[in-house]
Structure 1
Amino acid sequence: MERIDRLTTLMTRFKLSVRPAPPEEATLAATADADGAPDMVLFRAAAPFGAAPAARVLFSASVDWGGPANPLMAALPPTVAFDVSEDAESAGLIRLMGSEMTARRCGAPSVVSRLGEVLIVRMLRAQIEAGAAQPGLLAGLADPRLSRAIVAIHDRPGRAWRNEDLAREAGLSLSRFSETFLAAVGEPPAGYLRRWRLTLARQDMLAGDRVEAVARRYGFASPEGFARAFRKRFGANPVTLRPRAA
């Protein structure tokens, strides 16, 4: 079966930035073993650590990747522990990030952010491969069949998706697809599709797009129907999010 890219659209739609931060304010920390070699990356999606991890900290940083609006961030466990003790490439990234943070050479903030992005992607790949015990996007992406349907939703949110179409993407019968999706993701396919569309619509409204264009882009029957769904989801009229003209 053809491999699909489960992360690129999320990386494109939500800007990821990594910047140095003290341990108590950080959401990302790399720790070392007794010999000083990188052994673990700890990540908290929802809140800072509040205190330094007990192990030796090589560096700590704050990660911003769309906050709760990013469905993958919302699906991660409270603390992600990524073992790099036998992952030479990730360990090398950690050493290089630590060096850039310490030396503070020209362009270091940009280098740290880009290296941090690579490290986060490697961590997320491991999380997706490991799956999740609780329903959510992570569990859905971990399923090789459901992930095909979820990626189709992410990549083509404006298409008039029916459950039958998504079941075909997943290679499952309609009944099996609907049951499996609900159990893994925690909501029906149509519910996840609508939530994803509204998340993207909010981004576009904040960028200054017009209500009519956004409604059409994400498959809403009318601007009025889009506005009602938007108010129900976010508690505000979409037009109020558009930047005011100078």
Structure 2
Amino acid sequence: MDRLAALLAHFHLAASVFNAGPLCYSTRHPAQAGMGFVHVLTHGSVHLELADGTQRRFDAPVLILLATSDAHRLGPGPAGAETLCGSFRFGAGHLCPIYRALPTLLAIPLDRLTGMAGLLPLMLEEMREQRCGRQASLDRLCELLVIRLLRYLMDAGEVDSGMLAGMAHPKLVKALIAMHERPAADWSLHGLAHEAGMSRARFASVFRDSVGQPPAAYLSQYRISLAKSLLRDGVPLDTIAERVGYSSASALAKVFRRHTGYSPLAWRNADAGAVRVGDGA
């Protein structure tokens, strides 16, 4: 049972390492919708300043996850710092269910991060040696770091609500995986409860308490997020409707407008314009 396979297939992950080694001066990271950041402190200390003025200092090896559209600043402490810093984005940016489920700020001591024992030394080896393919290797390893971090968040119970909390539940996860893998299926509350091995009433109650919304609302939101991702890829509307569980393009358009205030084509045109402006900034 792979909890992430369908999500990562629909919403592709890409990461880029932009600092690997000494952090020599304070760096500002501007707000970017849908962009997440991972800062790994290996030696020394760093101070973090958020857009709202919140400041935190870290004096021991730590992984800092930031999944927010706000700007932040990271700087070395008095004795300097060695860091591995990267950004990551899922294929649909802030539309991706994984991105929406991430905590806006999380700091985890490196000695608590299970499942990283082999990965972090490999990243540090690449970071400290100037060998051919270093940047590409670090970028791919950063993608793997994000995936393993998602595993950790689910397995360690670090997230207490939202999709990742549901994916950590031994029964709800079966229904969530079924929705993610087969969004076009004619899901009913009874069918989803059956996937989870629960009664309808119990399933509806536990799902709402854990994920933060009713199963039908989650499924509708997931389908629209997937439709947006497919629209960005230029997939025809009829094909999208079939893939995400609507009988026709007009049926999809009706639900899409209710969620977004736009028709699918108007949303795609507005989104394309926003992407062009963002790329040129």
Which residue of the partner structure matches residue 3 of structure 2? Answer: 6
**Alpha-carbon distance in structure 1 between the residues aligned to 2:76 and 2:215:** 39
Deviation digits for residues 187-228 of structure 1, max 9, x if unmatched?
Answer: 111111111111111111222222122112222133212111
2:41–2:62 Cα contact (<8 Å) kept: yes
Change in Cα spacing, 1:102 to 1:237, as seen in structure 2 (3 Å) is farther
**Alpha-carbon distance in structure 1 between the residues aligned to 2:174 and 2:194:** 10
Where 1:217 maps in the other structure, the secondary structure is helix
Are 2:97 and 1:60 aligned?
no
**Alpha-carbon distance in structure 1 between the residues aligned to 2:114 and 2:225:** 37
State the 1:168 CA deviation. Answer: 0.6
Which of 65, 90, 112 in structure 1 is aligned with 2:138? 112
Alignment identity in percent?
Answer: 32
Q: Superposition pairs for residues 153-192 of structure 1, below 5 Å?
A: 153-192=179-218
**Alpha-carbon distance in structure 1 between the residues aligned to 2:97 and 2:196:** 20
Which residue of the partner structure matches residue 74 of structure 2? Answer: 51
**Alpha-carbon distance in structure 2 between the residues aligned to 1:78 and 1:85:** 21
Which residue of the partner structure matches residue 28 of structure 2? Answer: 24
State the 1:29 CA deviation. Answer: 1.0
Larger relative contact order (CA 8 Å, sep ≥ 6): 2
State the 1:98 CA deviation. Answer: 3.8
**Which structure 2 segments of 5+ residues have no match?**
20-26, 30-35, 45-59, 273-281
- Which structure dedicates a bigger proportion of its chain to helix? 1
Aligned length: 237
**TM-score normalised by the chain length of structure 1:** 0.85
Which residue of the partner structure matches residue 219 of structure 1? Answer: 245
Where 1:27 maps in the other structure, the secondary structure is strand
2:115–2:148 Cα contact (<8 Å) kept: no
Residue 16 of structure 1 aligns with an amino acid whose one-letter code is L
2:17–2:142 Cα contact (<8 Å) kept: no
**Alpha-carbon distance in structure 2 between the residues aligned to 1:226 and 1:205:** 12
- Which structure dedicates a bigger proportion of its chain to strand? 2
Q: Superposition pairs for residues 32-51 of structure 1, below 5 Å?
A: 32=42, 39-47=61-69, 49-51=72-74
Residue 44 of structure 1 aligns with an amino acid whose one-letter code is L
Deviation digits for residues 111-148 of structure 1, max 9, x if unmatched?
Answer: 11211121112211111012256431121111110011
Where 1:24 maps in the other structure, the secondary structure is strand
1:40–1:82 Cα contact (<8 Å) kept: yes
2:189–2:215 Cα contact (<8 Å) kept: yes
**TM-score normalised by the chain length of structure 2:** 0.75
CA RMSD of aligned residues (A): 2.6
State the 1:20 CA deviation. Answer: 2.3
State the 1:50 CA deviation. Answer: 1.8
Deviation digits for residues 158-182 of structure 1, max 9, x if unmatched?
Answer: 0001110110110100100011111
Q: Superposition pairs for residues 110-149 of structure 1, below 5 Å?
A: 110-132=136-158, 134-149=160-175
1:30–1:94 Cα contact (<8 Å) kept: no
Which residue of the partner structure matches residue 90 of structure 1? Answer: 116
State the 1:93 CA deviation. Answer: 2.5
Deviation digits for residues 84-126 of structure 1, max 9, x if unmatched?
Answer: 3266862542343344345454333321121112111221111
